Amino acid sequence: MTKTENTKEPIVVTGIGVVLPNTLSVDRFWANISGGLSQVGRLTRFDGAEAGLPVHVAAEISGFDHHPFLPELNDAHAAKYSREILIGMSAVAEARRDAGLVPGDVEPRRMGVVMSSSRGPSAWWRDVLTGADPTAFGDKGAMFRGLPGCPATLSAIYTGAQGLVTTLSNACVGGHQAIGVALRELQSGAADVMLVGGHEFPILPEVASCYRAMGSGVMSTERDDPKRAVRPYSNDREGFALGEGSVVLCLERESTARARGARIYSEILSAASLNEAAHPTTMDLTGKVTASLIEDLLADAGRSAEDVDYFCAHGTATRYNDIAESRALRALYPERTLGKLPPISSNKPIYGHTFGLAGIINVAATSLMIHHQTIAPTINFTTPDPECDHDHVFEGARPAELELAVSMSFAFGSQTSVVAVGAPS
């Protein structure tokens, strides 16, 4: 392995909190992604036909109860919060629990919370602006329910985190960028623990209309078989399905984690992001810009492209995304034949597209793949697009020696982000 001297203290993942469709624990999350169990189902949140939209499927959370996750939250306070806030808070609390952190383990000012959400409380604002909820301003909770940063700030109050608490909003790269902010806090010595995650609740006709306005091939129109709706890299792909939920990672400086005997899933080696300053809705289609960003990411981690064992893709099942990722791999490995490129897979067919949360889901999934030394598959893969004909993991979970993996995200606004995840030393 090519590895140069890196003097930065390792930052490790010690906890993963998950509130996703039919998924309320890290064990269930792993069972679903490794077993290829899609949580995309029939759309119930709104009637696509009534909205004039050919949208019939989504990955929805139903019947969520926050009480098991937030037992110390007073019901009178919880009544002032929205469903979205309670789900985000629950994911933060679950990440802390999964990490084994208890009061007294970390000095409060050395623990922070950083979240990502591309749209914030869209459902609440929709109801306010359309008059669908005439009681929206009936209590002081309106201030909580209308702010995109409240899942982070209210989580900090619940967990006692007094360090940096903030929320980023930057489309699909926001999750990776939130990890980057948390890394800087930890590597600078400003914090010992950071709870970093995302929350997204885009299953609304207005959001669907935004993407349908971009034309065909962006959102899936599947009607008959919801679980096959999302088919990345396949010739018959139609686009993505909307997904919702919250996932949070507990990141710690390794010395802090080791001192308390914490279980370690993975190491976050580096995070990098750039704005291509090019087309606002289409990512780099040469592959060269993304490849150069990955090279910079790996150099910062003291590694090289030859060390990468796996790529966790953005994998939206849209043509431009799929070929952009494939071309990036070819540009990164110009001397390799297609069959010799590192394996790649996408979890979008399992949980849909979650935008500001997507990068967090990817890094959580990658951390678990490293922990279990198994690559989770891209389900629904049929005949590959000739542009994307390389080593897709589609046959089911694949045992593998995983020492280094790269998570990729692309976003509107000409943005690309990547995170390097390694096996703990």
pLDDT, tens digit, 9 for 90 and up, residues 157-214: 999 999 999 999 999 999 999 999 999 999 999 999 999 999 999 999 999 999 999 9
Q: Across residues 411-420, what is the average pLDDT? A: 91
Could you tell me the CA-to-CA distances from 318 to 282, 300, 376, 384 in Å, in that order? 11, 30, 20, 13
DSSP 3-state of 97: helix
Taking a C-beta distance cutoff of 8 angstroms, is the pair 409, 175 a contact? yes
Distance CA 221, CA 246 (A): 25
What are the catalytic residues? 172, 314, 353
Which of 266, 283, 317 is a domain's end point?
Answer: 266
Report the Cα 92 to chain-centroid distance in Å.
Answer: 14
Collect contacts of 148-151 with beta carbons under 8 A, ≥24 apart.
148/117, 148/119, 148/120, 148/121, 149/115, 149/120, 150/81, 150/85, 150/121, 151/84, 151/85, 151/87, 151/88, 151/89, 151/92, 151/115, 151/117, 151/199, 151/246
pLDDT for res 279: 82
Is the C-alpha dihedral spanning 230, 233, 234, 238 positive or negative?
positive
Is 406 part of any domain? yes
Could you tell me the CA-to-CA distances from 314 to 172, 353, 358, 404 in Å, in that order? 9, 9, 8, 17
Domain with residue 367: its CATH number is 3.40.47.10
Torsion of CA 86, 89, 93, 98, to 10 degrees: 90
- Whether 107 and 204 map to the same domain: the answer is yes
Is 4 part of any domain? no
- Whether 243 and 317 map to the same domain: the answer is no
Is the C-alpha dihedral spanning 395, 396, 401, 407 positive or negative?
positive
Confidence of residue 339 (pLDDT cuts 50, 70, 90): confident
pLDDT for res 146: 94
pLDDT, tens digit, 9 for 90 and up, residues 113-171: 999 999 999 999 999 999 999 988 988 899 999 999 999 999 999 999 999 999 999 99
Cross-strand pairs, 200:
245
pLDDT of 110 higher than 70: yes
Distance CA 291, CA 325 (A): 9
pLDDT for res 7: 62
Which of 209, 234, 266 is a domain's end point?
Answer: 266
- Whether 279 and 254 map to the same domain: the answer is no
Q: Which residue has the tokens 């995170």?
A: 419
pLDDT of 12 higher than 50: yes
Query: What are the φ/ψ torsions at residue 249 (nearest 5 degrees)?
Result: -105, 140
pLDDT for res 140: 86
- Whether 222 and 76 map to the same domain: the answer is yes
Strands (DSSP E) along 262-341, which ranges?
A: 266-275, 310-312
Is 2 part of any domain? no
Is 3 part of any domain? no
Strands (DSSP E) along 254-371, which ranges?
A: 266-275, 310-312, 344-345
Q: Which domain holds residue 335?
A: 269-422
Is 252 part of any domain? yes
pLDDT, tens digit, 9 for 90 and up, residues 297-330: 999 999 999 999 999 999 999 999 999 999 999 9
- Whether 125 and 17 map to the same domain: the answer is yes
pLDDT for res 425: 87
Cross-strand pairs, 406:
311, 420
Q: 64, exposed or middle or buried, with CB in 10 Å at 0-12, 13-18, 19+?
A: middle
Which of 239, 266, 293 is a domain's end point?
Answer: 266
- Whether 161 and 240 map to the same domain: the answer is yes
Taking a C-beta distance cutoff of 8 angstroms, is the pair 159, 193 a contact? no
- Whether 262 and 280 map to the same domain: the answer is no
- Whether 209 and 221 map to the same domain: the answer is yes
pLDDT, tens digit, 9 for 90 and up, residues 340-363: 899 999 999 999 999 999 999 999
- Whether 168 and 239 map to the same domain: the answer is yes
pLDDT, tens digit, 9 for 90 and up, residues 233-287: 999 999 999 999 999 999 999 999 999 999 999 999 999 999 988 888 777 889 9
Q: Give the list of residues 6+ apart from residue 152 with CB closer than 8 angstroms, or none.
A: 88, 113, 114, 115, 165, 166, 167
pLDDT of 4 higher than 70: no
Report the Cα 111 to chain-centroid distance in Å.
Answer: 21
- Whether 240 and 357 map to the same domain: the answer is no
Confidence of residue 414 (pLDDT cuts 50, 70, 90): confident
Q: Across residues 372-376, what is the average pLDDT? A: 98
Q: What is the pTM of this model?
A: 0.96
Distance CA 105, CA 202 (A): 36
pLDDT for res 412: 82
Is 284 part of any domain? yes
Taking a C-beta distance cutoff of 8 angstroms, is the pair 391, 310 a contact? no
Is 6 part of any domain? no
Neighbours of 309 (CB within 10 A): 18
- As a whole-number percent, the residues of the chain with pLDDT over 70 amount to 98
Confidence of residue 5 (pLDDT cuts 50, 70, 90): very low
- Whether 249 and 342 map to the same domain: the answer is no
Helix ranges restricted to H, 250-318: 254-259, 288-300
Per-chain mean pLDDT for the chain: 95
- Whether 227 and 337 map to the same domain: the answer is no
Is 373 part of any domain? yes
Q: How many domains does the chain have?
A: 2
pLDDT of 1 higher than 70: no
